[in-house]
Amino acid sequence: MSLLVVGSVAFDAIETPFGRVERTVGGAATYFSLAASFLTRVNLVGVVGKDFTNEHEQVFRGRTVDLAGLERAEGKTFFWSGKYHDNLNDRTTLATDLNVFAEFRPKLPDSFRKSGYIFLANIDPTLQRSVLDQVAGKPKLVALDTMNYWIEGTPAELRKTLKQTQILMINDSETRQLSNEHNLLRAAKAIFKMGPKTLVIKRGEHGAMMVHGDSVFCVPAYPLDEIHDPTGAGDSFAGGFMGYLASAGKVNANSLRLAMVYGSVLGSFAVERFGLERLLKLKRSEITNRVRHFHKLTTFKL
């Protein structure tokens, strides 16, 4: 089934201990779409400025990413700049120029209104909800990402949107902040009262944890020899996760677990090289191999 994503398409300037890049295509919806496109058709809703040329659009070409919902507005594309510290876990944001993203009002083309799987990347919860309002009928699955800015700044709006959400996908500190609980299991229970029935906690180099009703599932981060740039890891995780579910066409205990594995695998590829570089060169067979290897990595016989 087709998968709709709404979120940022951006230019990034990135510096890590392994190099730097002055201006490369990035953004949550970009990483998400590229990762998910290996598994399913993706309908992208976002906005870029006039400086986003056909050449930049090449990152989506030859993939099952439908750009009918990518608006081209007067002005400049969202620009983000960040520098990662030596441990790659901490980063300093150097610039966040919203540009055309500041006035972004998501508009779904008619052809997108029947998307069964929806991922609301980290944007204003009011805009996230406006996407759901434009969907025809009840979507099969809505997943949402958010951040401290919205948890603190627009809690009531976020709560309204969470009521329409089945899966919340955030990191541990956001989980603790939203629930006001330090313990992650208690935090999950508090969040389930807000709407979502599944909580996916992204923990960077420590993997991810999913709480789904009474069941808990943990995956490690795929161990890598080289990590060059963590940018987009969480969004690629989300793309792998939702892409797998949309391709499977069913949401149950095992498909959710496999989605966690596909998420981890896509996230692991994203960080191996700078920006989108590794995802752009990725082959479907490499994903399958890494999923199998992931199984070996976590299996034991009782």
Residue ranges that bind a second copy, judged by CB under 8 A:
86-88, 182-186, 203, 206-207, 209, 211, 215-220, 223-227, 254, 257-258, 260-261, 291-292, 295-302
Query: Cβ 254 to a second copy, closest distance in Å?
Result: 5
Distance from C-alpha of 79 to C-alpha of 98, rounded to nearest angstrom: 6
Interacting residues of 26 by C-beta distance below 8 A, sequence separation 6+: 10, 11, 12, 14, 80, 231, 232, 275, 276
Three-state DSSP state, 17 = coil
The nearer residue to a second copy, 58 or 183, going by C-beta atoms, is: 183
Query: Cβ 281 to a second copy, closest distance in Å?
Result: 21
- The amino acid that residue 57 corresponds to is E
The nearer residue to a second copy, 96 or 215, going by C-beta atoms, is: 215
φ/ψ of 79, rounded to 5, equals -125, 130
The nearer residue to a second copy, 178 or 291, going by C-beta atoms, is: 291
The nearer residue to a second copy, 13 or 88, going by C-beta atoms, is: 88
Query: Cβ 151 to a second copy, closest distance in Å?
Result: 18
Query: Cβ 122 to a second copy, closest distance in Å?
Result: 23
In 3D, which of 10, 228, 168 has the Cα closest to residue 99? 10
The nearer residue to a second copy, 121 or 260, going by C-beta atoms, is: 260
Query: Cβ 257 to a second copy, closest distance in Å?
Result: 4
Please state, as a whole number, how many other Cβ atoms lie within 10 Å of the Cβ of residue 189.
15
CB 72 within 8 A of CB 50: yes
Q: Are strands 10-16 and 19-26 parallel, antiparallel or unpaired?
A: antiparallel
Distance from C-alpha of 2 to C-alpha of 24, rounded to nearest angstrom: 27
95 secondary structure, DSSP code: E
The nearer residue to a second copy, 133 or 300, going by C-beta atoms, is: 300
Query: Cβ 206 to a second copy, closest distance in Å?
Result: 4
